[in-house]
Amino acid sequence: MTGPYTRGDSFTSEASRKHIRRALGDYGATDVLFTQRGNHSAIAFKGGGRQFRIVLPLLQSEGPLVIRGDIADGPLHEANAKLLERANRKSWHALALAIDAKLAAAAAGIATLESEFLAHVVLPGNKTVLDELGPVIDSAYRSGRRPSFGGPAHA
């Protein structure tokens, strides 16, 4: 049976952000910052000599609800808003769990902070490794050819 705790919808988004801030701080990360722009939230922090940024897409209503009658601000609209808020609470909770797991792996010596958060390392130019390599990887899969990363090719 799945209760509210295991679904993550009993935690507020703010409680999950506080948990993330505390977990990162306990690990030694600094300059933890949460921002929101449009339908994306982001967390940025520094650790291990690197800067990291994780972008979390937030669910938002796609324009006005299409419903019959004049109840756009009534019960259906409120229900939609509650569903969106619940989904976003779950997203923040899932991110908190993922960060906990990554930090635990780094603390145990199984991995490094950089290897656990590699996709989110911010490079000079303010793009992440994922921003830079995502298209290269997609192209390699489409072409079936090994991508070149600027070093000598390996067989």
Chain segment 38-79, per-residue pLDDT in tens = 889 999 999 999 999 999 998 765 544 444 444 455 666 677
**Coil, helix or strand at residue 93:** helix
- C-beta neighbour count of 24 within 10 angstroms: 21
Q: Are residues 82 and 150 in the same domain?
A: no
Q: Are residues 112 and 61 in the same domain?
A: yes
Distance in Å from the first CA to the final CA of the chain = 50
Q: Are residues 26 and 97 in the same domain?
A: yes
Q: Are residues 95 and 72 in the same domain?
A: yes
Task: Give dist(CA 107, CA 29) in Å, integer.
Answer: 12
Is 39 in contact with 52 (CB distance < 8 Å)?
no
Q: Are residues 47 and 98 in the same domain?
A: yes
Q: Are residues 38 and 82 in the same domain?
A: yes
Residue 16, domain extent:
4-122
pLDDT of the residue at 101: 98
Q: Are residues 16 and 73 in the same domain?
A: yes
Q: Are residues 101 and 131 in the same domain?
A: no
Q: What is the pLDDT of residues 84-122, one digit of tens each?
A: 888 889 999 999 999 999 999 999 999 999 999 999 999
pLDDT of the residue at 143: 94
The listed range with the strongest mean pLDDT (8-17, 58-67, 123-132) is 123-132
pTM summary value: 0.78
How many domains are contained in the chain? 2
β partners of residue 53? 44
Q: Are residues 118 and 138 in the same domain?
A: no
Q: Are residues 111 and 63 in the same domain?
A: yes
Token pair 């921003």 is found at 131
Q: Are residues 112 and 129 in the same domain?
A: no
Burial 59-81 (b: 16+ CB within 10 A, else e): eeeeeeeeeeeeeeeeeeeeeee
